[in-house]
Structure formats: C-alpha cells, structure tokens
C-alpha cells in the first residue's frame, strides 16, 4: 500500500466508516496551501494591511474554502499540497481537524513543476479525474467544483480563469504532456497561454466561471456586495 493510501485508510478509520480500496473515489482534488507565516504569505496584500493581518486573512480564506469543499455533492479524495515542506507538523496541527484525506508536501522549484508532480501523484493513485485548486480563491462555491468534475467526464481539461489572467483551478482527465511547461507564472498570460497550448494540440477543455484571487485589498472589495466596504 502506498503512503497516500495508508494516509487515506488511517483517516477513514478515524473519522468515517472504513472503505475498501475499490470504493475510493475516482475524483481527486489537490488543494494548494502555504503555511500562513506572517511576512511569507500574501506579500502584496501585506504591503497594504501589514504582515500579521495579511496572514490572518489568508488563513481564514484557506479554512473557508475547505468548508465550502465539504459541501460538494461529488465524492473525492482531498489532497492538501502544502508548502514549505518543513512545516508539515504545523500544517497538520492547523488543518487536520478539517478532514483532509492526504497531506502532500509540494515538490519542485517553479509552480509548474509543483503542479505536475502533484498531478502525477494523484494519477498514480488511480484517480481518473484530478483538479488542483488555489487556496487564495475568492467567491468559490460547491457548484463550481461539481461542474469541474462533471466536465472532466467528457473533456480533457477544465480551467477556472482568474480575473488577473491566471487560473484558480485546473483539472485533467489524464496527464497532458507539457501543459505546465513554458508558462509565464505570476503574469496575466498564464490562462491565455495554457488555452493556446490546449488548442494547438487539440485537447478539449471547459471553462468555469471567472473568479477573483486574493492578491491585494482591492480583490476583497471587489467581492463585497454593491455599496458595501469593510
């Protein structure tokens, strides 16, 4: 039994009725999280609100999105890909109560490498549909996650575009060679270049609703009801 299966089985024995291996969900969701250490997360936001408050805002968003994932109708394995790897103990103390199936340290220098490695792990564990979600996503709903998994039954890829030109979610029905290579990460061209790559190589894809990422205070204000600011 692999480490992921052991972790999953242990969590099932502790929190739920045990499942046989063949009953494990075919869907997997990889939730990318950074440990919220002040001064090392959301640095652009921190320039406006301070290191401590930026870290607290991010911490609350991570937890809020996890609770939203708990209301998704489809069954899936929840893999928490955390960074930095040496904060495993702290991350588990923080998020283990929120019913994570697997804790997976992020591996790789650039984001593309970390995504590719995480997808490889999920597919190696017999997942048939895998999605990666950024923990700084605003306005997430259970329906968006359901739509993503459903689309992968017919499409090769699903993308959740972010308003800043990146993407908050990407999902694959199987590995797509090169999809995470030569992407200008942390620019407004991430989503555009990814779609161009898929189109060039004739991979079918589905687009989810466009959402905000949390990078600056203005992103939070954009998500408030009209006429309200906090």
> In this structure, what DSSP letter does residue 214 have?
-
CA-based torsion, 114, 96, 7, 147: positive or negative: negative
Whole-angstrom distance, CA of residue 230 vs CA of residue 207: 31
The pLDDT value given to residue 222: 63
pTM score over 0.75:
yes
Q: pLDDT tens-digit profile of 104-152?
A: 999 999 999 999 999 999 999 999 999 999 999 999 999 999 999 999 9
Give me 17's structure tokens: 């009725």
pLDDT band at residue 99 under the 50/70/90 scheme: confident
Closest CA to 99 of 72, 77, 81, 128: 77
The structural domains of the chain, ordered by start, are 3-218 (3.90.550.10)
**How wide is the angle at C-alpha 118 spanned by C-alphas 114 and 124, nearest 5°?**
145
Rounded to whole angstroms, how far apart are CA atoms 53 and 56?
Answer: 5
């Amino acid at each position: 039994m692999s480490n992921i299966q052991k972790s999953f089985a242990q969590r099932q024995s502790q929190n739920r009725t045990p499942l046989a291996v063949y009953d494990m969900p075919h869907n997997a969701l990889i939730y990318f999280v950074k440990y919220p250490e002040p001064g090392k997360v959301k640095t652009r936001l921190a320039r406006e609100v301070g290191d401590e408050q930026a870290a607290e805002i991010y911490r609350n968003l991570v937890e809020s999105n996890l609770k939203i994932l708990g209301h998704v109708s489809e069954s899936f394995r929840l893999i928490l890909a955390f960074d930095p790897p040496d904060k495993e103990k702290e991350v588990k103390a923080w998020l283990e109560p929120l019913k994570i199936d697997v804790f997976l340290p992020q591996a790789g220098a650039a984001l593309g490498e970390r995504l590719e490695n995480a997808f490889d792990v999920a597919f190696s564990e017999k997942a048939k549909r895998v999605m990666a979600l950024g923990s700084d996503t605003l306005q997430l709903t259970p329906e968006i996650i359901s739509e993503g998994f459903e689309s992968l039954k017919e499409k090769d890829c699903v993308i959740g575009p972010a308003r800043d030109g990146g993407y908050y979610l990407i999902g694959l029905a199987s590995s797509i060679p090169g999809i995470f290579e030569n992407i200008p990460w942390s620019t407004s061209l991430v989503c555009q270049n990814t779609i161009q790559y898929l189109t060039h190589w004739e991979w079918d894809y589905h687009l989810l609703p466009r959402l905000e990422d949390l990078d600056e205070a203005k992103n939070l204000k954009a998500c408030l009801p009209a006429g309200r600011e906090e």
